[in-house]
Amino acid sequence: MGYAAVVIGMAAKWGFNNDYGLVNDLIRRFIPDFQFNWLINTGSARSAVIAMDLWKDLPFLQYLYYQDFSSFQEIFMRRLK
């Protein structure tokens, strides 16, 4: 679909890393001593997997919605004439 699952897995592993991950880095800008292992705890790992799956599929879903709405617009304009 949008991206390969391997690429998403590596991006998630990097993004949710406790030491140098993007998510913890963004939170540490507001809370300097923040430490959390996202992929160790069951609940947060599930949330991380859901977030990455949505991120993976979002470009494909946007494309489908765009195509659907553009065809709807053509049909609507034809009926107005």
Q: What is the pLDDT of residue 31?
A: 92
d(CA 15, CA 10): 8
Q: What is the pLDDT of residue 11?
A: 82
Q: Note the pTM of the prediction, 2 decimals.
A: 0.59
The burial class, CB within 10 Å (0-12 / 13-18 / 19+), for 12 is buried
What is the percent of the chain with per-residue pLDDT over 70, rounded to a whole number?
80
Q: What is the pLDDT of residue 22?
A: 86
| Residues 24-72 pLDDT 10s | 888 999 998 888 888 888 888 888 888 888 877 777 777 777 776 766 6
Q: Does position 1 have pLDDT exceeding 60, yes or no?
A: no
14 vs 69, residue with greater confidence: 14
For residue 15, give both structure tokens: 């993004």
**Runs of H (alpha helix) within the chain:** 5-15, 22-28, 42-80
